[in-house]
Amino acid sequence: GGTYWFLSAEYSIPIIERLRFAAFYDIGMVYSKAYDFNLGNYNDDWGVGLRLLIPQLGPAPLRLDYAFPITHGSDTSGSGRFQFSVGYSRPF
């Protein structure tokens, strides 16, 4: 897309030394045209996940999340899905 906006809030608690449980809320949207911005058109979800810190990777955690959509467009599924990532980027 040409323009996007994204906001995420996360709360995590330690399970063991390098493993954390997280609960999160994400909201955002991608628009096909540059500078095409509308706050009334968005997708959002909430979910839970695990954060595993591996010292050899530095401060970026391995992340395994499952998100449940709240608001979604007609071109996306209304069912939840898993997401695996390394670091702090989140393509939900």
Query: So where are the chain's domains?
Result: 3-86
For the segment 11-50, what is each residue's pLDDT rounded down to a tens digit?
Answer: 999 999 999 999 999 999 888 888 877 778 888 999 999 9
Contacts with 54 (C-beta within 8 Å, 6 or more apart), sequence order: 18, 61, 62
**What's the whole-number average pLDDT of the chain?**
86
For the segment 47-81, what is each residue's pLDDT rounded down to a tens digit?
Answer: 999 999 988 877 788 999 999 999 876 766 778 99
Angle, vertex CA 76, rays to CA 51 and CA 36, nearest 5: 95
Counts for the chain of helices (H) and strands (E), in that order: 0, 5
Closest CA to 5 of 36, 40, 41, 29: 29
